[in-house]
Structure 1
Amino acid sequence: MAIMIKSVTISILCLFVVTFSGHGQIAMIGSAQWDGEGPLSYVNENAPKGGRFTMGHVGSFNSLNPFQIRGQSPYELRVYVHESLGTRSWDEPFSIYGQLASDISLSDDRSSITFTIDPNARFADGQQVTAKDVLFSFELLRDHGRPNHRSYYSKVVKAQSDNDASITFDLPKDNRELALIMALMPVLPAHATDRQAFIDGKLERIMGSGPYQVASADFGRQLVLKRRDDYWGQQKNINKGRFNFDEIIIDYYRDSNALFESFKAGLIDVYIDSDPLHWQQAYQFPAANEGQIVQREFSHGRPSGLEGMVLNSRIPPLDKWQVRRGLNLLFPADEIGEAFFGGQRKHIDGYFSNTDLAMEASQVMANCMNKDPSFVPEKDMAEFTDPRRAKRKAFGLFQQAGLALKDGRWRLPDGSVFRLEIMAKDAASERILVTYANALTQSGIDASVRLVDSSQFTDRMQGFSYDATIWRWYVSLSPGNEQAYYWGSEAADNEGSRNYAGLKSSCVDDAIARLVDATNEDMFTIAMQDLMVGLKRSQMVVPFFYDDRDRVALNAGIGTPERTSLYGIQMDSWWRDQ
């Protein structure tokens, strides 16, 4: 991407004025950038159709149902098999265009949104998509879906449909983002979905309306998607230049080393390399030397989000801010950054790194945090360039929390040794965590790293069964309601949510509410900064590093558009050169 636009600027510009049109689009300022008359700007309208594309993931899957809590399903099902009423342009954080809906109308006071279903829309069995399917999906996911669906859809005041062609959702006036969330609601076939089996967590597969359908599935090993020749939406402008491969194969591997070896052997077509040192050193093999593999870098405008070691504050002594702050101070950022990333990645300073946001709290947030004993006082947030000074500060905080150093080991108030088991899900994260654990051990903490398989990792994450683990919270260019799912007090007690730290703070809850309800640029910016400061002062996560580009190694026969979206690469716009 030739020009990187700062993500916070995009978010603010797109937030505050809501418009709608009869062309099936809603936007949060003026009008949507894409006029709907041609293809999206980051696709190749003339991309050839055909061929096979094989990608790989580290991990496993044991379900083909991405909408129920139980099981782990491939992300690609939601992208290629199931559709929503609307879809995003990856250049416009707050714009939604019609997919299953041919028309989207939002009332002037934002109290209701009406979707008119495209009369051409069909499920994979040829059955027409109707408003009854939308209502069925809304009620099922609201009452029995994943925690984020239950949280979002329960806020809807009323859903009503008098015919098969349209449905209206009445919305609370104090939730500005809910209209966009409803536009992105997946639509399931009422005639082909066993409601009770879904509720019981036993519904293995749900029919979709998207451009692909599942051809075969070998749980834990491989998923094969086949492009539908009869896909109803292939002539829609928003789909032009997309969904080009006849077949998409997703292979699963035990770790990143096995995945890369398969890439080198030509078994998969793409390897997204998150390791700058590996990117520089690992591509001296025959296929790369002979030009069969190409290395490409794509700049993006995504905020960093937060990747790091999350501390489960439900477990003592991690419930004490002094201990969490001490663990943060003992993280050898410079050593790890140089050893694993060649100094090419930046240490995450805040939730919205890679944006123009300042790490500065409003007076309201500052007053709230000063009254809340779970936050680190501002005087104790000083950073140290000298590791020895950082260590002395951490030791002082441990003592302040009631821990005692005896015979070189930290002990809790009851005399037991301070043990910290860190859960890792793959070899790459294990290496970083082991380096950190060694630093903690040298400081008197009995730290260890436990590598678990993908299934165990998912089960333990969903049940909050860990001391500490690595995780990454991705932040979109349009942060909003999902932040309550990540950091809200209510989510802390809901197994399956992503509040893995167990953070419960009225200050953070208020910042999230203000973020969602903001009606002007200043309010939005202040709320975002307050959330960023609140998360940093909570010290619930030991932050790692971020990159401002995507490093992608590709089979030379895979074509990509000339332009990359603001969000970065979009594989559904790639093709195989004939």
Structure 2
Amino acid sequence: MMRSVFFRHLGAAALAFLPVFAGPAAAEPVPAIAMYGAPALPAGFTHLPYANPDAPKGGRIRFGESGSFDSLNPWILKGRPAQGIATFVTESLMDRSIDEPFTLYGLLAESVETDAARSWVAFTLRPEARFSDGRPVTVEDVIWSYQTLGTEGHPRYQNAWRKVKSIEQTGPRSLRITFTEPDRELALLMGMRPVLEKAQWEGKDFAQATQVAPVGSGPYVIDRVETGRFITLRRNPDWWGKDLPLNRGRFNLDEMRWDYFGDGGVVFEAFKGGETDTFRETNAAKWARDYDFPAVRDGRVVLSEIPHRRPSGISGLVMNTRLPVFADWRVREAMIDVFNFEFINATLNGGREPRITSYFANSDLAMRPGPAEGKVAALLAPFAASLPPGTLEGYALPVSDGRELNRKNSRKAMKLLEEAGWSVGADGVLKDAAGAPFSFEIVLQQGAAETQSIVDIYVEALRRIGIFPKVTTVDDAQYQARTNTYDFGMAWYTRALSLSPGNEQMLYWGARGVGEPGSRNWMGMNAPAAEAMVRAMLEARTPEDFTAAVRALDRVLTAGRYVIPGWYAPISRIAHDCNLHFPERLPLYGDWPGFQPEVWWYEAEQ
């Protein structure tokens, strides 16, 4: 059977997309903080609106993952960490509600305080907060964690840490962080860092991958691990935070297990065979075609569709502009022209999914069609001379007639390539003026069958215009190593984006990532306009200014032609054991981190 769940109060949910802005208020300790305006939930709320406070405790959920893992430290660049640790073993000072664009409620911290300019933020810890070994969570643990993550942790922590002027203890359970520059998001980001137990890491090299199970304060502890094969987390019955209103109805399952398999196809077969309990399907055609196996027919497996109203993000083949072959926007446009989306979508996906038209598509933050106007145009105007064509005038992806040969767009691509100095020689190979062939390597992850199918069709289209790329498939560890060091010409690139973009955008698109390993800037873009739009977002004081800055950034990214976009799903498709349930009331972000398995529960069907 098909179980399809939709928002009951769609109108109210739609209003929640827009940030709520309020005037400055005097600094005072409060239990929650929003990026703009006031949190949606009152001070005395009893549970998150998308959690079931009456959900029974018990049962388990088994996930399947492709690839492997070699580390239990998910906070550094080295190694491939096991699933679950960062989310369920450790906690942060505050926790996010995925029913709001960006609001944090106190978790380890009982209160947060900041000034109108958000030039500093202060937290007061809950006296009852404890690590799983019984030790209290102290200000010393918080300060050590922030300093260590900011200097030795993954680059995603270091970006914001560079804007911290000082961090200091101000009382037995309180600390204060002062910032070096205007950035309204920093007060929230400082509430989302994992807090680790300082004593456990004394004498150890934090920056190295490790098989030592970290001690955290979260709802789960690491139970069993077999490196590269599986990890099991067990719910801590003595968890200090189980009775907080924020946690009521969450973390209901006694056991969570992640088993690792060779590739995505094997993961699906393991689910069909009952070795795992849930499978998230990303292909609409497979969802319609491949889910008629016995467990579905007899009701042991349920098919759930979960809508969302978040941005599409970007998913597709990214071009590495660090390589001279992709430095020219005309070449990148030609690569997009040759990519026959309509044919590929129909062949692999039944034509069921919409194309990603921009990085923030499917939301109010998306760039608008046609020329830039008003505040968007004003923000981009100082950079007009350096922006690729279409940024200000309006840019749209090419559309084919859906036939395999895609002649019209292929001719357009050839014209652009010729303008950029490339031409097809007598041997049928595209070459530059010096006779060097147009060559690059597409690096793919082993087991990514759908991506491989997309690339197979694309490579055939490229060959018809004289381009013969090398396609290399590597295992999970090699793929991570190569993408961390930008050792590829093209690679499959996916970045989820939220309704509250902020500092993380610098990690995604900032110039520092051109040379610094481990950033999300796989394309190697160095666009001052993009960084300026991010700063404008962070300093915005009105909803109009915030939205204009994001829409302007969306134009810079999309018209930059860095990624050949694929499709996105406006719903999530999850097949799962019939004994696993989730609340009828869905959050704004839908199936987003914070939904499965956080608010799911196990209850045997009668």
Provide TM-score, normalisation by structure 1: 0.95
The answer to whether the aligner puts 1:192 opposite 2:206 as a matched pair is no
AA matched with 2:562: M
Pair 379,326 (structure 1): closer, same or farther in 2 beyond 3 Å: farther
The answer for the alignment partner of 1:24 in structure 2 is 31
The answer for the alignment partner of 1:48 in structure 2 is 56
The answer for the alignment partner of 1:421 in structure 2 is 441
Q: 2 CA distance for matches of 1:534 and 1:8?
A: 26
- CA deviation string 1:211-237 (max 9, x = no partner): 101112222211110111111000111
- CA deviation string 1:324-357 (max 9, x = no partner): 1100111110011111111111111101110133
Post-superposition shift, 1:194? 3.0
The answer for the alignment partner of 1:403 in structure 2 is 422
The match for 1:225 among 223, 233, 256 is 233
Post-superposition shift, 1:526? 1.3
Task: Indicate if the aligned counterparts of 1:62 and 1:73 stay in contact, CA closer than 8 A.
Answer: yes
Post-superposition shift, 1:447? 2.3
Post-superposition shift, 1:316? 1.9
Q: 1 CA distance for matches of 2:350 and 2:174?
A: 55
Post-superposition shift, 1:375? 6.0
Pair 160,25 (structure 1): closer, same or farther in 2 beyond 3 Å: same
Aligned ranges 1:103-252 → 2 under 5 Å: 103-172=111-180, 174-194=182-202, 196-200=204-208, 204-252=212-260
User: Which secondary structure state, in structure 1, belongs to the residue aligned with residue 443 of structure 2?
Assistant: strand
- CA deviation string 1:122-173 (max 9, x = no partner): 1111000011111111111111111111111120121110333000111245
- CA deviation string 1:359-378 (max 9, x = no partner): 45333455455412766677
Aligned ranges 1:199-348 → 2 under 5 Å: 199-200=207-208, 204-348=212-356
Pair 77,375 (structure 1): closer, same or farther in 2 beyond 3 Å: farther
Pair 381,236 (structure 1): closer, same or farther in 2 beyond 3 Å: closer
Of 4-13 and 319-328, more deviation after overlay is shown by 4-13
Q: 1 CA distance for matches of 2:531 and 2:272?
A: 47
Post-superposition shift, 1:416? 2.1
Pair 452,30 (structure 1): closer, same or farther in 2 beyond 3 Å: same
Aligned ranges 1:461-480 → 2 under 5 Å: 461-480=483-502
Post-superposition shift, 1:414? 2.9
The match for 1:372 among 379, 386, 393 is 386
Pair 82,414 (structure 1): closer, same or farther in 2 beyond 3 Å: farther
Post-superposition shift, 1:68? 1.3
Q: 1 CA distance for matches of 2:196 and 2:216?
A: 7
Q: 2 CA distance for matches of 1:504 and 1:5?
A: 40
The match for 1:514 among 496, 515, 536 is 536
Task: Indicate if the aligned counterparts of 1:123 and 1:208 stay in contact, CA closer than 8 A.
Answer: yes
The answer to whether the aligner puts 1:34 opposite 2:48 as a matched pair is no
The answer to whether the aligner puts 1:12 opposite 2:18 as a matched pair is yes
Post-superposition shift, 1:107? 2.1
The answer to whether the aligner puts 1:576 opposite 2:593 as a matched pair is no
Post-superposition shift, 1:178? 0.5
The answer to whether the aligner puts 1:59 opposite 2:52 as a matched pair is no
Q: 2 CA distance for matches of 1:509 and 1:194?
A: 38
Q: 2 CA distance for matches of 1:385 and 1:369?
A: 32
Of 540-549 and 210-219, more deviation after overlay is shown by 210-219
Q: 2 CA distance for matches of 1:197 and 1:127?
A: 22
Please, which runs of 5 or more residues in structure 1 have no aligned partner? none
The answer for the alignment partner of 1:363 in structure 2 is 377
Post-superposition shift, 1:28? 3.6
The answer to whether the aligner puts 1:394 opposite 2:403 as a matched pair is no
User: Which secondary structure state, in structure 1, belongs to the residue aligned with residue 164 of structure 2?
Assistant: coil
Task: Indicate if the aligned counterparts of 2:22 and 2:37 stay in contact, CA closer than 8 A.
Answer: no
User: Which secondary structure state, in structure 1, belongs to the residue aligned with residue 437 of structure 2?
Assistant: coil
Q: 2 CA distance for matches of 1:289 and 1:142?
A: 51
Task: Indicate if the aligned counterparts of 2:19 and 2:101 stay in contact, CA closer than 8 A.
Answer: no
AA matched with 1:27: A
Q: RMSD between aligned alpha carbons? A: 2.1
Task: Indicate if the aligned counterparts of 1:311 and 1:318 stay in contact, CA closer than 8 A.
Answer: yes
Q: 1 CA distance for matches of 2:185 and 2:21?
A: 9
Aligned ranges 1:500-539 → 2 under 5 Å: 500-539=522-561
Give percent identity, aligned residues only.
33
AA matched with 2:352: Q
AA matched with 2:385: K
- CA deviation string 1:517-546 (max 9, x = no partner): 111122111111111110111111001111
AA matched with 1:108: A
Please, which runs of 5 or more residues in structure 2 have no aligned partner? 1-5
Pair 527,303 (structure 1): closer, same or farther in 2 beyond 3 Å: same
Pair 242,457 (structure 1): closer, same or farther in 2 beyond 3 Å: same
Q: 1 CA distance for matches of 2:87 and 2:289?
A: 33
The match for 1:563 among 582, 585, 592 is 585
Provide TM-score, normalisation by structure 2: 0.91
- CA deviation string 1:270-307 (max 9, x = no partner): 11111111111111211111110111111111110010
Pair 306,4 (structure 1): closer, same or farther in 2 beyond 3 Å: farther
AA matched with 2:536: R
Pair 75,534 (structure 1): closer, same or farther in 2 beyond 3 Å: farther
User: Which secondary structure state, in structure 2, belongs to the residue aligned with residue 437 of structure 1?
Assistant: helix
Q: 2 CA distance for matches of 1:343 and 1:319?
A: 32
Of 191-200 and 368-377, more deviation after overlay is shown by 368-377
Pair 272,16 (structure 1): closer, same or farther in 2 beyond 3 Å: farther
User: Which secondary structure state, in structure 2, belongs to the residue aligned with residue 327 of structure 1?
Assistant: helix
Q: 2 CA distance for matches of 1:79 and 1:270?
A: 18
Task: Indicate if the aligned counterparts of 1:7 and 1:477 stay in contact, CA closer than 8 A.
Answer: no
Task: Indicate if the aligned counterparts of 1:17 and 1:28 stay in contact, CA closer than 8 A.
Answer: no
User: Which secondary structure state, in structure 1, belongs to the residue aligned with residue 522 of structure 2?
Assistant: coil
Pair 541,280 (structure 1): closer, same or farther in 2 beyond 3 Å: same
Task: Indicate if the aligned counterparts of 1:347 and 1:545 stay in contact, CA closer than 8 A.
Answer: yes
Post-superposition shift, 1:21? 6.7
AA matched with 2:478: Q
Task: Indicate if the aligned counterparts of 2:536 and 2:546 stay in contact, CA closer than 8 A.
Answer: yes
Post-superposition shift, 1:13? 2.3
Task: Indicate if the aligned counterparts of 1:322 and 1:397 stay in contact, CA closer than 8 A.
Answer: yes
Task: Indicate if the aligned counterparts of 1:307 and 1:473 stay in contact, CA closer than 8 A.
Answer: yes
Task: Indicate if the aligned counterparts of 1:11 and 1:94 stay in contact, CA closer than 8 A.
Answer: no
Q: 2 CA distance for matches of 1:201 and 1:57?
A: 20
- CA deviation string 1:80-115 (max 9, x = no partner): 111000000110122110010011112233222111
How many equivalent pairs are there? 578
User: Which secondary structure state, in structure 2, belongs to the residue aligned with residue 127 of structure 1?
Assistant: coil
Q: 1 CA distance for matches of 2:424 and 2:394?
A: 21
Task: Indicate if the aligned counterparts of 2:56 and 2:602 stay in contact, CA closer than 8 A.
Answer: yes
Task: Indicate if the aligned counterparts of 1:124 and 1:231 stay in contact, CA closer than 8 A.
Answer: yes
Pair 560,201 (structure 1): closer, same or farther in 2 beyond 3 Å: closer
